[in-house]
Structure 1
């Protein structure tokens, strides 16, 4: 298990945001062609549903909120709010909702929290409804670097929930030196003590950046073949000890992993208890990701959706969430609010993993879009390598 505190909210398993990634259903989810899915689902320009119902359901990743916000929002709004923690993996969740949404049926949740690339995929399938931004005035607090993504101009269909960075985590006692480069994952001195994530885009992304590639320019399997080959060779040679989800932090803390691919928020929390554990964005760069909030097709609770999104985009409420989950907030003004909270929260305001400078941000890269056909090829190859 990770170091993240339990929030005692929701009904999901007690894993953190990016816990062990079950790769079930990957190729099956890609087996239906995009045109066939589009025909079954319709498009994403359907009008907002009736908004009179005072209920709301949000299915999120585990351990991804503080202990107060859900109850505080329900009390302030009068909305019957159901918050659950059903996400463990983007592809797994996609496979779970595919049979219903592809047939034009509804799911229980009004809001889901897919990572941006999966949200883009869902938008293409017609599964998302347009947000009524006139009812979310606090959306103006969205960080400028997150506004108007290429796949969702004007943030009409999504608002970020939390953001983070994948880079290199290491145990200085096990490495005996600082870690600076992606190539350290392949250093002979760390043979058998290297960890990689089962989250394909983060592991593959870092390896490709180490090969000098720009991951936002990769659109075909052939573009990424060198990265897959390098990972597979490292596995076959015994360089890689294991592919893991969030449970990498246990091996990292114990020194079983000298160095591994890791997420900034996890290492930030672990480092409080174990100062030997460190995180670095390698010289080649790190992968930048964000999880979204999206309004699912068929939901009739548009007013409640907007009210929730507006609530968590208030910097005061967003800062409370940040103080707990310790990922980068998408909301401007959170840093000032953390200072006002004092104590440990105020210390977070000075942490470069939560508030990186412009030079650091310039070294981060994000994946572009993949077609359904290419996505299936990526998933199949990566699953064969990691043994999923």
Structure 2
């Protein structure tokens, strides 16, 4: 999961050019979330061209689909909590598993996720966590709590908030001792006030990839970050660290789904099946720094012992999945709109 503030980024990926007239597969994905060699290998295997557009804000992505983008793309990679919403609206297909024989390669916890029982409409692509990334050479105190964002007395330096509504509001809810999925009006009122105050003291909102770039550049000492983005930043600068706050945080999955209006659904099925090959799954995770849902890929994972990507049990016990809130989402939207407007 990975991202710019209220901005939809459309970046055509320049890849090897198959012969003129070859089929295209159009994918809508998070930024920096699929290795180019994985795309090139599929293009060469199937003699097709992949056109990849990217986004950093899931709310903007949904708006794009609702404005006609659902007929522009074939395959999307989206946050787990959005699958139910997209399925209810008929935006994504009910999958024919006979066309995804490598579905059997998924680990049991990923083959039957709570947000999409039996993976009826989606297939897990990657998983990760959302926590705090910071520069140990820039902070002025310990970074072990969401308080570095929400308590002025615990501030350790300039910080950025995350543009993804559910994640940023979830962080505030955990700081308050609530579930990331709470729709309690009193809790959401507190969240609103926390975020309005934090926004005023912050250096603004940023998507995941933008946030870690600003962290690397020294524009912020602390950012809300996705684990894979933080992992790659740590490789670039060892002074970058990543922590799951003591109050807890989110664990998430991003999933592949085929759009109902896709004219190239058969090719989309082939691509999903390709990504579930253990060697390809390992290449994906090694390339972007997130967790693989394919157990057979683990022996090929370079960072399989790194707790940033594969946190130990005691850390996982503090993690919570974002749920599909259905009608309860309206309360989140109302709070977020007021935060953004203030």
Q: Please give the range of the TM-score, normalised by the shorter of the 2 chains.
A: 0.7 to 0.9
Q: Deviations over 1:328-371 (max 9, x none)?
A: 22222222113xxxxxxx3x222112222333222211222223
Contact 1:190-1:258 at 8 Å conserved across structures: no
Q: What corresponds to 1:112 in structure 2? A: 76
> Is 1:384 matched with 2:330?
no
Cα drift, residue 271 of structure 1: 1.2
TM-score, normalised to structure 1, is 0.76
Corresponding position of 1:27: none
| Cα deviation 1:155-190 (Å, max 9, x = unaligned) | 011012222211111111222443212223225252
Say if 2:115 and 2:323, in contact at 8 Å, map to a contact too.
Answer: no
Separation of aligned partners in 2, 1:64 and 1:222:
37
Per the alignment, residue 61 of structure 1 pairs with 30
Q: What's 1:35 paired with?
A: none
Q: Distance in 1 between matches of 2:157 and 2:144?
A: 19
Residue pairs, 1:16-95, within 5 angstroms: 18-22=2-6, 56-78=25-47, 80-95=48-63
Structure-2-length-normalised TM-score: 0.86
Question: Do structure 1's residue 322 and structure 2's residue 285 form an aligned pair?
Answer: yes
Give, in angstroms, the shift of residue 222 of structure 1: 4.9
Does the CA contact (< 8 Å) of 1:146 and 1:330 recur in 2? yes
Q: Distance in 1 between matches of 2:109 and 2:312?
A: 12
Distance 1:188 1:154, change over 3 A: same
Distance 1:243 1:191 in 2: 18
1:219–1:369 Cα contact (<8 Å) kept: no
1:1-388 aligned at under 5 Å gives the runs 18-22=2-6, 56-78=25-47, 80-100=48-68, 107-185=71-149, 186-188=151-153, 190=155, 193-216=158-181, 218-219=182-183, 222-236=186-200, 238=201, 240-245=202-207, 246-338=209-301, 346=302, 348-372=303-327, 374-387=328-341
How well do the aligned residues superpose, as a CA RMSD in angstroms?
2.5
The change in CA–CA distance for 1:199 and 1:99 in structure 2 (over 3 A counts) is closer
> Secondary structure of the equivalent of 1:352?
coil
- In 2, the alpha carbon distance for the partners of 1:73 and 1:23 equals 29
Instruction: Evaluate the alpha carbon distance shift between residue 325 and residue 363 of structure 1 in structure 2; reply closer, same or farther with a 3 A threshold.
Output: same
- What SS is found at the alignment partner of 1:83? strand
Q: Deviations over 1:94-126 (max 9, x none)?
A: 22221448xxxx613221112122222111111
Tell me how far apart the structure 2 counterparts of residues 306 and 111 of structure 1 sit (CA, whole Å). Answer: 9
Mean alpha-carbon deviation: is it higher for 201-210 or for 62-71?
62-71
8 Å Cα contact 1:122/1:128 also seen in 2: yes
Residue 379 of structure 1 and its aligned partner are, at CA, apart by 2.5
Supply the distance in 2 between the matched residues of 1:316 and 1:387 (Cα, whole angstroms).
46
Counterparts in 2 of 1:336 and 1:291: CA distance versus 1, 3 Å: same
Would you say how many aligned residue pairs link Structure 1 and Structure 2? 327
Determine helix, strand or coil for the equivalent of 1:327.
Answer: coil
Moved more, 271-280 or 91-100: 91-100
Measure how far apart 1:235 and its partner are: 3.4
Please identify the structure whose Cα radius of gyration is greater. 1
Q: Displacement, 1:20? A: 0.5
Matches of 1:227 and 1:144, distance apart in 2:
35
Q: Secondary structure at the match of 2:178?
A: coil
Gaps of 5+ in 2: 9-21
Instruction: Give the secondary-structure state (helix, strand or coil) at the position aligned to 2:132.
Output: strand
Alpha-carbon shift at residue 241 of structure 1 (Å): 3.0
Give the C-alpha shift of residue 23 in structure 1: 6.4
